[in-house]
Structure 1
Amino acid sequence: MSDARGSWLGDVQRWVTENVEALDLGPKADIAFFRERTWGAVARVETSQRVLFFKAQGIRARLEPALVNDLARHWPGLGPDVLAVDAQRGWLLLADHGTPMSGSLGPAAQVRVFEQLIGQYARVQRESSALIERWIAAGAPDRRVANIPKLLERLLVGDLWGALPLRPDQYRAIEAILPDLVRVCDQLAATPFAAALDHCDMHGGNVLIGRGSPRLIDWGDACITHPFCSLFVAYQHAVAMMPPSDRRGTALRLRDIYLDAWSDLASATELRTAFASATWLGYLIRALSFAYMLDPSHATGKDDVARFLIRWTDTHLLLGRADELVEAIAGQTE
């Protein structure tokens, strides 16, 4: 073990122990790390009375402590309960909310859990608009729709992540639909719900069940963008794993549950049109997220980004056909 790592682990042990004692959970705080990656580390903390979790964020995900703490204070019950936070060091001490639902529930059951979560999630998006600038200052990537064409351009020329594994014809296909991208972004920017927090990684591995109500965890990928991009990942994980005959109805039902929180701001047709367009932008949001969080040498990640961009171009012809576009996106596994 390097001296630097040993010193860091000692600091973690002291911080966790101090907070466990302050919470009157006893003097015992055994820490066992079970996930360590470039963007963060997670440890199980066993105290004399209960199990907790410690999370340390890498530099690219330093937003999460401030964000999760804000959510726990103002909108308890959606994200994890925060017992202690050190935003400067990127450390969190969290309650135990169970296990990831992807490990125990099939796709249909996961969808039912998302049905419970997304109404509350949408309400938080609506009510947290005053915190957008605070979260951007804390590290949330600013992917508001007006910025997306420029961000895509930087991704394509290699400014954000180096060269992508795309053929010349695939670059040409992307360039051919850039005017439509600008048009869609302009339309979405003009909606009364143009920017909000997006978890950006809403799949079954990031929903904990088994101890109280389901909780949405792992907010390190969160960004500020159009709120209606939010179901893209859930579609490509849970819905896409459903039997083909069930996908369309499931995708549209999730959409309508989610949009109910916005129903006072536009007609159902306007909301569904905007939702389909924003979900189409989900390919780009996901590609930008991978490029932001992963090391440029991550070959598999670059293949994933290229696949997102290719699928984005492939679904372009469905713009303007809202239900069909949502169905197509929800039929693809990430």
Structure 2
Amino acid sequence: MAGDMVGVSAEPWEDPAWLEGAVAWVDDRLAGAGRPRTGEPDQVHVRPWSTVLRVPTADGPVWFKANMEALRHEATVVLLLARRVPDRVPPLIADDPDRGWMLMEDAGRRLREVIAEERDLSRWDDILEGAADIARAMETDVDALVGAGVPDMRLAVLPDRYAALVEAEDVEQRFRDAVPRVRELAEELATYAVTETLQHDDLHDGNVFVRAGRHLILDWGDAVVSHPFFTMSVTLEGFVAWGLDDVENAVDIAPLIDRHLRRYAPDRPELRDAVPIALRLGWACRAANRTIAEDPESTRSRLRMFLDGRV
């Protein structure tokens, strides 16, 4: 079942034979693109769930990513994004959805470092507009996304996903008692008739890059099909609200919410009333979205954000 928790099995990322095969695939795709490799790849990221290689070419580095089986759907997500919203993601050079492999152009500098230098959060205006663009553009791809393995966290199934989580985990009883509340909120949010779509579910300053003035959104392994306003839980409450110096509620997120909504549905001002519900349910979604095993405390923190509005 999409979205179920699975253990992180041993992956072959550092096996010389696997690496040789991956580099051969990269070389073949680069040759087809007319930009051969100019040096040895650098394996810059090794995690149980994925690995990343930086590959030099005469026109700048390109990036290869491979995912564990439970996250192979990211390749399909990135392929569809590259077709629908090419200005919001790095160009995709090649992909192999069956193996979960991707080869992408360089995305530039990570937003986290850029903001630390500039001491300015205004770049989030455009990023929130980008999230709205992506949500609208991907509405027609929902069936393909779920079919590829993207976890289904739509309002009709979210209460059951939440119930399964709190029954399986060592959590406070009050989180189990909240199952009816999740159902109630999901039903209420559904009355606003917002089309459910692709939602990043972990959109923060470590997953946005800046290149040639554009803000590019990466790392779609945690993406789900859910309510598009759920992104505001993690992005705004979980990150932007803490400001430049990591101080709780340092930033008023209301203007960013309004900007996001104006981009998403400028003709539906009533959707502002749906945001408080979505902010709470977004944390229930984030807690239940556990494709790979995580630190149990992360799950409990997200559950506290759902019920209490704070960690």
TM-score category (smaller protein) = 0.7 to 0.9
C-alpha separation between the residues in 2 aligned to 1:126 and 1:4? 39
**Where in structure 2 are the equivalents of 1:8-87 lying within 5 Å?**
8-87=18-97
Q: Deviation at 1:265?
A: 5.5
Q: Deviation at 1:180?
A: 2.7
- 2:281 equivalent to 1:281: yes
Distance verdict in 2 for CA 1:273–1:109, change over 3 Å: farther
Match of 1:313 among 301, 307, 311: 307
**Where in structure 2 are the equivalents of 1:1-334 lying within 5 Å?**
5-106=15-116, 111-158=121-168, 163-164=169-170, 166=171, 170-171=172-173, 173-235=174-236, 236-242=238-244, 247=250, 249=252, 251-264=253-266, 266=268, 268=269, 270-289=270-289, 291-294=290-293, 298=294, 301-315=295-309
Q: Deviation at 1:288?
A: 1.8
C-alpha separation between the residues in 1 aligned to 2:43 and 2:212? 21
**What is the TM-score normalised by the length of structure 2?**
0.88
**What is the TM-score normalised by the length of structure 1?**
0.82
C-alpha separation between the residues in 2 aligned to 1:109 and 1:76? 28
Letter of the 2:151 counterpart: P
Whether the 8 Å CA contact 2:109–2:210 is kept in 1: the answer is yes
Whether the 8 Å CA contact 1:140–1:222 is kept in 2: the answer is yes
Whether the 8 Å CA contact 1:20–1:29 is kept in 2: the answer is no
Question: CA offsets per residue over residues 191-241 of structure 1, 9 Å max, x none?
Answer: 221411101111111011144411010011100011100122222123213
Letter of the 2:65 counterpart: K
C-alpha separation between the residues in 1 aligned to 2:248 and 2:21? 53
Per mean C-alpha deviation after superposition, the further-off stretch among 25-34 and 71-80 is: 25-34
Distance verdict in 2 for CA 1:109–1:133, change over 3 Å: farther
Whether the 8 Å CA contact 2:90–2:105 is kept in 1: the answer is yes
State the structure with bigger RCO (CA 8 A, min sep 6), 1 or 2: 2
Equivalent pairs, count: 298
What residue number does 1:321 align with? none
Distance verdict in 2 for CA 1:200–1:113, change over 3 Å: same
Distance verdict in 2 for CA 1:137–1:108, change over 3 Å: farther
C-alpha separation between the residues in 1 aligned to 2:60 and 2:307? 50
C-alpha separation between the residues in 1 aligned to 2:251 and 2:38? 51
Q: Deviation at 1:96?
A: 0.7
Q: Deviation at 1:245?
A: 9.8
Letter of the 2:300 counterpart: A
Letter of the 2:68 counterpart: G
C-alpha separation between the residues in 2 aligned to 1:175 and 1:11? 47
